[in-house]
Amino acid sequence: MTVDLKLRSSRIVTPNGIISGCLRIRSGKIAQLTEGLTDDREYSDCEVLELGDDLVVPGFVDLHVHGGGGHDVMNGADSVIGLAEFLAQQGTTSFFATTDTVAKEQMLASIRGIAAAVEAQQEGEGAEILGIHLEGPFLNVRQKGAFLPETLLDCSWEVMQELEEACGGYLRRVTIAPEIEGALDLIRALSSRGFLVSGGHTAASYEATMAGIRAGISVVTHMYNAMQGLHHRNPGAVGAYLTSGDVVCEIIGDLFHVHPAAIQLVLQSKGLDHVYMISDAIVAAGLSPGVYDFAGRQITVDERGLSTLSDGTIAGSTFFMKHAFKNLIDALGVSIENAVKLTAEVPAKVAGVFDRKGSLEPGKDADITVLGPDYQVKLCLTNGRVHYGA
């Protein structure tokens, strides 16, 4: 249940900079944003949250998340709803539910569960599920990552139709390796129908990657990871994505998957409007070190939070968007305003929801994250409903 609120802070991040002022929330929307500490008599009909110098930012938008807090998007509608609530405690206010690549029948059943969760989710009931991201099954076995090789499939329009039907109208994004047989035709068909098509889990050369971009790839699935790296005589997929101006690169922000200098290279090459951060969080995110299951494989999470298979392959992440936000500022020296751009504004634009999410402006959804010392989440609003940080 949402209530009318006023949030007052000396540090509210707006599209025009950081201000000292007040946010008025009414009926789940941002009704008013004023600079200066407004007289409380103007807000006598609502609850006032005095936030001091806590940082008030747009809620984080995560376009690549598999799970967290023991919840997995592959485990049915209740688990997806549980994940949505858990993500809100971490400051994430909307997300793409991202599938694992598993056996086809299991994948279809899991996708139906995600679709059921989207239909069942009540407004403000945790982070909003913006839709479904299929990370596979049309991936290259040579860059399978943590996925089992027998679950990867050749590109097939018939299989794609089965998957889309199971999504119940909530499919938003598909990751495809552009070099595998039939991929370019499938990329063209999906992009022409308005779906986001990502290049990822690929062994494609520079030339094959460029062919995929011409066919309709507009986003990179976890830039650098599970793809051919940059070499001065063989620029590979990374070289193609760095030099293709319209392609948007997503980056896992845990600093295990990508070195800060490599993140900086993408930012300098692409510009702030063509980069955004993701968590790639899995079921073990937010839990203690130990042994867990992910995509049919056993993973081990160490004391640092690094998740690996037995052979040392990194398997997803145990970090959240709040960590990516902090890492951008502390490790890369990115300004608070630009960190907001990379964790809220750009992903909201990529997802096609910037008209209602991704910035603190009147008329938009009251998706708001409040950060205390060391950028820890103190509370989070999803459509005006308050969740306290975990």
> pLDDT tens digits for 52-105?
999 999 999 999 999 999 999 999 999 999 999 999 999 999 999 999 999 999
Q: For the residues 315-341, what does the mean pLDDT come to? A: 97
Q: Residue 154 catalytic?
A: no
List 54, 62, 280, 367, catalytic entry: 280
- Whole-angstrom distance, CA of residue 153 vs CA of residue 140: 9
pLDDT band at 145 (very low <50, low <70, confident <90, very high): confident
What is the mean predicted confidence (pLDDT) over 373-385?
Answer: 96
The pLDDT value recorded for residue 97 is 98
The per-residue pLDDT for 167 is: 97
Burial annotation 40-53 (CB, 10 A radius, 16+ → b, else e) = eeebeebeebebee
Give the three-class secondary structure for 350. Answer: helix
Residue 146 pLDDT level (bands cut at 50, 70, 90): confident
Which phi and psi angles does 337 have, rounded to 5°? -60, -40
Q: Tell me the pLDDT tens digit for each residue of 11-52.
A: 999 999 999 999 999 999 999 999 986 655 555 678 889 999
The per-residue pLDDT for 37 is 66
The values of phi and psi at residue 381, to 5°, are -110, 130
Q: Does residue 214 carry a pLDDT above 90?
A: yes
pLDDT of residue 295: 77
Bridge partners of residue 98, in order along the sequence = 133
- Strands laid side by side in the 128-135 sheet: 60-65, 92-98, 128-135, 171-176, 196-199, 219-220, 248-252, 275-278
Residue 2 confidence (pLDDT) above 70: no
Beta strand 196-199 with 171-176 is parallel
In whole angstroms, what is the distance from residue 368 CA to residue 374 CA?
18
Q: Tell me if the pTM is above 0.85.
A: yes
- Beta-ladder partners of 308: 300, 314
**What gap in Å lies between CA 75 and CA 91, rounded to an integer?**
23
For residue 41, the model assigns a pLDDT of 57
The bridge status of strand 377-382 relative to strand 385-388 is antiparallel
Q: Is the pLDDT of residue 390 over 80?
A: no
Greater pLDDT, 145 or 17: 17
State the pLDDT at residue 158. 95
The string of pLDDT tens digits covering residues 235-287 is 999 999 999 999 999 999 999 999 999 999 999 999 999 999 999 999 999 99
**Nearest to 351, CA basis, from 236, 196, 206:** 196
pLDDT, residue 258, reads 97
| % pLDDT > 70, the chain | 97
Interval 308-316 mean pLDDT: 90
For a pLDDT cut of 90, what percent of the chain falls above it?
A: 88
Nearest-angstrom CA–CA distance, 285 and 283: 6
Instruction: Find the length of the chain.
Output: 390
d(CA 332, CA 262): 10
* Residue 154 exposed, middle or buried by CB count within 10 Å (0-12, 13-18, 19+): exposed
Pull the structure tokens for residue 246.
């319209």
Model pLDDT for residues 344-365, shown as the tens digit of each residue: 999 999 999 999 999 999 999 9
pLDDT at 119: 95
Question: How many alpha carbons lie under 13 Å from residue 117 in its C-beta half-sphere?
Answer: 32
> Residue 388 contacts by C-beta under 8 Å, 6 or more apart in sequence?
89, 378, 379, 380
Which neighbouring-strand residues pair with 57? 369
